[in-house]
Structure formats: C-alpha cells, structure tokens
C-alpha cells in the first residue's frame, strides 16, 4: 500500500518540514565548498606552471630584451634610385624610421618637384643632395653621411634659384647640421654628376664667383623661375648698376619682377629721365619677354666690357625692365604649346611652338590690355568743352567696382609711383609700331585714325624704333592687318584696331609717360631657333629707343628762393597736353625738332614763358629752367585747383580692391594670413603641419 507524505503546512508537522529544508541547505553548501576548492587548486597548478615574474630590482633576474639592429636595405624611393649607391638605412639622417614615413614627408615631395620649380636649374644635383639625407648611403649596416664641402659649394651656386621663387634654402640641406667633414669619412653624393659634366663644376668650387655663365645669353624660352633667376643673377654680377624689385604678384601669386639699370640703382637722380620696357601682357606673346631678358643680360655684360654707348645710357638714364606682366598666362601658354608639339624636340623643324590664343589672358581670364581705365572715352566726351584736358585724367570711381586684375593694379601703382618719361610695350602677331590713341573717336568705335595732341612726337618715337629694326621699316609684313594702314612700319592704334582699356592710352592720359606698342613678328610663339634672329633684329632698335628718352627739353621749375615747385605744369603752345613737375620741380618734355613756345605755371605762382629752338641734330634734352614768383590766388580758382588735384590723387578711394585682397587673405578661422608664394598650396598636406621652413620670411 503506497503512502503519500503530507505536504507541509503551518497546521501540520511544521517541525518536520523545517528539518528537511535544513538538511537540504547543508548539502548544497558542502557542494559549493568542494567546487571552490577544486577551482583554487586548478588555478594554483596553472600559476605554478608559468615562468617566474621578472623583477628588475634583482640583478640577473631579468633577461635583457634584444632589439633588432637596423640593417642596410635597398633604396625604394623612386626619385633616389639613380644614386651611385644602392642601399640605405632607416632611421635616416632626418629620423624617418621607415621608407613610408620618408616618402610621405614634405621633404621628399619637394625633391620630386624641385626640377620643375627651379626650371631645371641645378638639377639633378639638388635632388641628389637631398636624397643623400633622406636615403643616406649604407655600408656595413652603418650610415655614411654626405660631405659638407659638397653641400656648401652647391648652396653657393644654387641658392639664387630658390630665392628667385621666394623659397628658403631647405632646412634638410643645412650643410652644418646634416653633413660632415672629410675627416669623418664622408662621401660626395654628386661625384658621378661632376665627372660627367666635363669640368662645368670647377668654377663654383673656387672662391671667385662665376661671371660668364650669368651673362651668357641662351636663346631658349625661359620659365618664370628661370627668368627670375636670370634677373637676380644679373643683379649679382652687376650690383653696382643693377637692382631687382617686385611691383606685386599675379593672380596665382607669381612675382612681377623688375630689373633696373642706373649708375645709382634704387635711387632717382635729379633730372635723370626714367624709362621702361614691358612685355608679355598677353601670355601667349612670348618674343618680347625673351628679348627683355636678353636686354638685361646685354646691358650688364656690355657695361662691364666697357661698351661706351651702353655705359652712357646707364650713366644718364634709369632703365626699368619688366619682362612679364602676365606670368600666369605665359605658363599656361608654354604648357599648351609643349602639348601641341608632342614633346618631339628632334624633328627637322626644331622645337616648335604653335601660335594660338592659349594663355593670352591672365588666370582670371581677363585680357590685361583691356583692363585699364578707359580714360580715352572720357577725353572724347569732353572734347567740346572749352577747358577740357588730355593729361592727368583721374581714374573714375566706378572703375574700381569692376573686375580689376591684380596684375593691372600692380602696374598702375608702379606707373604712378615713378616719373616715367618713355615706355615700350612689346606684343606679337604683327610687325609694326603702334602709337596712341588705341580707342577710336568714332561714336560706334569703328576703326578710325584718332591722333593724340602729341601725334608728331608719337610718330617720331615709333619711327625711331621701326627705322632701326632690320625689317620692320620696309612695311612688307606677310601677316596681320596693320600693313593696310601702316607707314614705314608705324600705325595709329585706333586706325588699325580700336580697343578700350589699353595700357598705352592709360600711360599717356594719366601720367607724363609716352608709351608705344611694338608688335615683334607674325608668330607670337615662334620656334626657339628664331629667337636669335629676333634678338639680332631688335637689339639696335631697343638701344635707340632708350636714347629717345633724352629728346626734347628738361629742367626745373623753381620759386625765387630756388625751391622746386611740386606739380608745376609745362605747356607747349599748340599741344593740348601738359606735363607735371615732380616733387622736386623737375620735368622732361619730349618734343620733335623745331621751335616751341613753352610755358610753366603753378598754383599760387605767376607764369613764365620761353621760346625754345630744338635743332634736328640735338640728341640730348636741352636744359630749360623756369623761376616763378608767388601771387595771391582767387578763392574760387584755388578751390577748383585743389579739387582737381584731389580727384587725381584718389586711387581706389573706397578700397574696393584692397578689401577684395584682404578677404582673400583671411583664413576660415578669421586670422589674417601672410601672403604666400604661388607654390605654397602644393606643399600644404592634410593632417601635416604647414612647412613654414620653405618660406624665406619664416
């Protein structure tokens, strides 16, 4: 008979139920103790099997950790694979621990593009010198450092190339820091290059600076870096008569570099006329740019050789040469022409550059020779007024609200800052000298003869150049449309091709400067083989044009105490165009041979008039001084004169251009940035500190 245990309840066998539960809890606790014991025992066995812990406080208790020593490895940096050795070692001299770290640095990036930056100058030596630091020579698992003497010689020879693009000598080519002397067992990383150069390196290893290489004319096209380098080397060779200076930068940051020649460079001398040559305002018109580079070298070398004519020109004239107003356009044109040529320099025709409009405009796609203030239209609109003027016409305020290119702005400030008397502007595409006006007086802007009040002077200046050019004067030009209106290689600009906003009209109507335009040939970008011919055809014409700055008369307008009168006006009867005296009261007035009635006037002074006779055989300016006495001024007249002067002096009155530049130079963080060279953005890498060591001003 099966019996069933009654369930525990508060009313029945309460004590028995409690006893059963207590027995069950004791059994569970026992099992837990056994499990814990087994777990601790297993852990103790595992711990006893581990090696003893290293205690660095007990000598000999810890075994030394052996680090793997660096070993020589094959060079895997592609721009360093042509070194005379095949193995290198990491960490390198700069501390890069791996090839990947060296390859991702700005230093290696610089070596990869340095040939293009320097226009091929000092190559491959600079690259190989850098490779000797980034991928140093390794022998028997040790680094062999490059020689300090090699570094110093190369720096002496090539530092100017970096200066030409406003780049500092790279820090990793610091000759004292990363290079050693011969006594320390160094090696020459460019030894093989020297051996292959047939002695070209001998001259820079001497203490005597090189002379001939800087002055030797190479009839090839030069990049902007090469051009600036040549100008700065020319300055170094002729430091007593030459000086380079910048008038600003292009849209892409390239320097607008000028070289001047004078017996006192950098200073204006009393009564010494100043003249300028400018070129390449259209980037694809390259001949004038090259001619001005050659002219700078020619003036320097001939002066040193004692050429009497060149010495006289430099000693009596301050000559300014700006080879390129539009360096951005030229670079674009040069790359475009090279692409068209297919890189084949060994064909029967030589290195050919195909003419086109590629690169004509600046980097903003602005035609710079249409970007100057259109003062000619202002003159035309006022010509029926009794007292209208054609000199020192103010720039209208509305001009600044348009698109003013940085190159245009820089040239205008330059023209206003110096007392230029004469100017030549080199173009290409025809063979003729064009003179103002460039803008037609026809109401519909149809091509029409539109002479200036100084038409005789401009024709004389144009003829001076054309008649001494070897082929321009014949007028038998096989290209362009100028020949239909030209007379012996000269033509009125508006009659030939009317355009507004040109530079030569601006020079004449806004300042004292008389500018003409030289079209140097049918081909804007001819083969390099033709550059020597162009130089030969234009050399004498350029020198003759400099001499033309001394035509006419010059002098000083003074008060009775002998002080120069600033802003005094020089008027020639029959010519409705005045010349203004400088701060010292000096003036230059270009005139053709003949008899002229000349008057000097100034605000608050009497007027003085003289008759001047200029014989045809006189090739230097005649000295004509004026002395004016002070007089009382009518208040109304005084007010009108002051308002007129204030209007002329108002240059960008609302700072429109300045504000535009300022906004462009403000970073996203709101901090004003220092103006950087055109190449700067190429070396700024994401996540890497900016390489300020590349900047000369850092």
The tokens for 384 are: 């029926």
- Residue for token digits 């504000």? 659
| Degrees to nearest 5, angle at CA 145 with 140 and 147 | 135
Strands 274-279, 420-427: pairing is parallel
Catalytic residue status for 540: no
Cα separation values, 395 from 414, 450, 655, Å: 15, 21, 14
- Contact (Cβ atoms closer than 8 angstroms) between residue 431 and residue 479: yes
Distance CA 302, CA 309 (A): 9
Q: Which of 107, 515, 519, 537 is catalytic?
A: 519
The DSSP string of 546-561 is HHGGG-SEEEEEEETT
Distance CA 377, CA 209 (A): 54
Cα separation values, 452 from 195, 331, 376, 505, Å: 63, 36, 10, 10
| Degrees to nearest 5, angle at CA 514 with 430 and 392 | 130
The tokens for 173 are: 């080519």
- Contact (Cβ atoms closer than 8 angstroms) between residue 227 and residue 259: no
- Which distant-in-sequence residues (6+ apart) come within 8 Å of 101 by Cβ? none
β-pair partners for 611? 597
| The residue count for the chain | 698
β-pair partners for 555? 587
Distance CA 618, CA 548 (A): 11
Distance CA 506, CA 423 (A): 12
The tokens for 551 are: 């035509």
- Contact (Cβ atoms closer than 8 angstroms) between residue 489 and residue 466: yes
Cα separation values, 292 from 258, 277, 297, 320, 565, Å: 10, 7, 9, 10, 36
First CA to last CA distance, the chain:
110
| Degrees to nearest 5, angle at CA 543 with 540 and 549 | 140
| Degrees to nearest 5, angle at CA 202 with 199 and 206 | 175
The DSSP string of 460-527 is HHHHHHHHHSTTGGG---SSSSGGGT-BTTEEEHHHHH--SS-HHHHHHHHSS-EEEEEEEES-SS--
Q: Which residues are tagged catalytic?
A: 519
């Amino acid at each position: 008979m099966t019996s069933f245990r009654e369930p525990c309840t508060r009313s029945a066998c309460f004590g028995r139920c409690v006893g059963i539960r207590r027995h069950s809890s004791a059994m569970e606790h026992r099992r837990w103790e056994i499990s814990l014991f087994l777990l601790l025992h297993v852990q103790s066995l595992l711990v006893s099997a581990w090696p003893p812990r290293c205690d660095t406080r007990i000598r000999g208790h810890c075994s030394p950790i052996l680090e793997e020593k660096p070993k020589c490895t094959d060079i895997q940096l592609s721009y360093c694979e042509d070194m005379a050795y095949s193995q290198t070692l990491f960490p390198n001299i700069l501390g890069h621990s791996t090839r990947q770290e060296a390859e991702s640095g700005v230093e290696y990036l610089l070596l990869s593009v340095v040939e293009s930056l320097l226009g091929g100058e000092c190559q491959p030596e600079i690259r190989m010198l850098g490779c000797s630091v980034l991928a140093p020579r390794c022998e028997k698992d040790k680094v062999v450092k490059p020689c300090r003497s090699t570094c110093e010689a190369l720096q002496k020879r090539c530092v100017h190339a970096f200066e030409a693009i406003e780049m500092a000598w790279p820090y990793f080519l610091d000759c004292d820091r990363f290079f050693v002397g011969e006594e320390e067992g160094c090696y020459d990383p460019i030894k093989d290059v020297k051996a292959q150069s047939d002695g070209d390196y001998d001259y820079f290893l001497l203490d005597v600076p090189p002379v001939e290489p800087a002055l030797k004319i190479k009839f090839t096209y030069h990049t902007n870096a090469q051009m600036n380098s040549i100008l700065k080397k020319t300055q170094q060779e002729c430091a007593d008569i030459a000086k380079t200076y910048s008038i600003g930068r292009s849209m892409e940051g390239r320097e607008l570099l000028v070289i001047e020649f004078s017996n006192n460079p950098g200073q204006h001398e009393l009564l010494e006329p100043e003249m300028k040559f400018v070129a390449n305002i259209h980037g694809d018109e390259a001949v004038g740019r090259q001619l001005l580079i050659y002219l700078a070298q020619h003036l320097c070398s001939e002066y040193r050789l004692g050429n009497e004519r060149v010495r006289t020109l430099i000693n009596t004239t301050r000559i300014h040469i700006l080879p390129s107003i539009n360096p951005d356009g030229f670079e674009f044109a040069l790359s475009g022409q090279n692409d068209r040529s297919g890189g084949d320099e060994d064909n029967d025709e030589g290195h050919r550059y195909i003419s086109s409009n590629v690169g004509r405009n600046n980097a903003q796609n602005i035609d710079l020779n249409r970007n100057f203030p259109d003062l000619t239209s202002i003159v035309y609109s006022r010509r029926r007024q009794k007292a209208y003027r054609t000199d020192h016409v103010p720039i209208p305020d509305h001009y600044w609200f348009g698109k003013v290119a940085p190159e245009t702005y820089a040239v205008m400030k330059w023209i206003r800052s110096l007392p230029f008397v004469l100017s030549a502007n080199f173009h290409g595409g025809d063979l003729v000298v064009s003179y103002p006006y460039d803008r037609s007086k026809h109401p519909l802007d149809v091509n029409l003869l539109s002479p200036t009040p100084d038409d005789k002077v401009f024709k004389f200046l144009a003829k001076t150049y054309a008649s001494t050019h070897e082929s321009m004067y014949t007028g038998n030009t096989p290209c362009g449309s100028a020949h239909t209106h030209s007379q012996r290689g000269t033509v009125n600009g508006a009659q030939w091709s009317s355009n507004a906003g040109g530079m030569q009209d601006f020079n004449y109507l806004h300042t004292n400067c008389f500018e003409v335009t030289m079209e140097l040939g049918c081909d804007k970008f001819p083969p390099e083989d033709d550059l020597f011919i162009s130089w030969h055809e234009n050399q004498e014409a350029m020198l003759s044009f400099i001499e033309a700055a001394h035509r006419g008369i010059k002098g000083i307008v003074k008060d009775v105490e002998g002080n120069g009168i600033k802003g005094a006006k020089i008027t020639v009867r029959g010519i409705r165009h005045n010349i203004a005296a400088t701060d010292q009261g000096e003036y230059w007035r270009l005139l053709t041979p003949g008899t002229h009635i000349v008057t000097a006037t100034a605000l608050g002074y009497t007027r003085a008039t003289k008759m001047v006779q200029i014989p045809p055989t006189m090739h230097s300016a005649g000295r004509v001084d004026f002395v004016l006495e002070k007089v009382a001024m009518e208040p109304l007249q005084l007010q009108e004169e002051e308002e007129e002067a204030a209007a002329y002096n108002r240059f960008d009155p609302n700072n429109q251009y300045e504000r535009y530049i300022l906004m462009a130079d403000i970073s996203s963080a709101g901090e004003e940035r220092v103006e950087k060279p055109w190449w700067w953005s190429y070396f700024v890498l994401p996540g890497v500190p900016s390489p300020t060591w590349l900047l000369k001003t850092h």
